[in-house]
Structure 1
Amino acid sequence: MNTHLTLGLALLFILLAALASLTLFYRQRTYRRAGSVRQLLELADRLESDLKTCRAGLQQAHAVMSLNPDLPTTGEQEARHAIDAGLRSLLQQRIWIRDKAPRATQQELDEAAITMSAARQRLQPLLTGLNQAQHALDNAVREHIRREP
């Protein structure tokens, strides 16, 4: 009778340990998925901010350099179209996050985050160049103003 009680307690302990392990696994999986979705939303916010910063910088540079700021040049129109396309693509990504992320696999969530991070990395040198060009343009305008009688 002691043997049956010991065996029963051992089986109960094994079942409880398995249940605790399974619960821990699902909890970690849920936390990871929630973290991935949160990361996607943060990346989307940062990418949107980068694109809007780029658009504002281009508009400011065009206004300073243009003889008629109300008429965009061909290069400015192409840049504006590229930024608008980026914002449309970002909107599609946000819709995917809203509609598909809750049922997406962890791999799909990770791939979406990698894609968005890569887009931000490709945009960073352009933002840096735009910022440098804006500073150079500002300096040139100040210098021109100083030289005028």
Structure 2
Amino acid sequence: MPPPSLPPSLLPEPPSYDAIREDHIVQRMLCRDLETLADGLPALPAPQEIQHLCERIEHVTATHFKRAEQYFAALPPAVRPNDAALAALRRMHELDEMHAQDLVNALLQQSRQGDRDQVGQLAYMLRCFFDGSRRAIALKESWMAP
């Protein structure tokens, strides 16, 4: 979020409720695809499919997480989660970002080598990421319920 010293006319608009819901659809689709990949191990898709999955992971962590945090921080105080809850969400996102970085590196490495000796580790990393993402989505949606 830009520094608060900027005039309100220069501040970006926070994302809408519908944008956050759409983000959650995108994230759920990614989680589903990663779970399918985990279930199919030790087989891996073609390297270009792995590359596309990695790009999707990076996009979610770079874009969707920050948008959600901006959305909730911009809510009116009467309906905004308290500061401790927002800090907890940020920590969840930070952990998911770390898992994402490790996962992307592992996926790219595994797709480049034929050896599947680290398949158990890769399965664990996949599950850490999609379980964490689903947990964060559930928390955010509990705050969005009418």
Q: Give the structure-2-normalised TM-score.
A: 0.45
Bigger Rg over Cα = 1
Relative contact order, higher structure (CA 8 A, sep 6+): 1
Q: Give the structure-1-normalised TM-score.
A: 0.45
> Of Structure 1 and Structure 2, which has the larger fraction of its residues in helix?
1
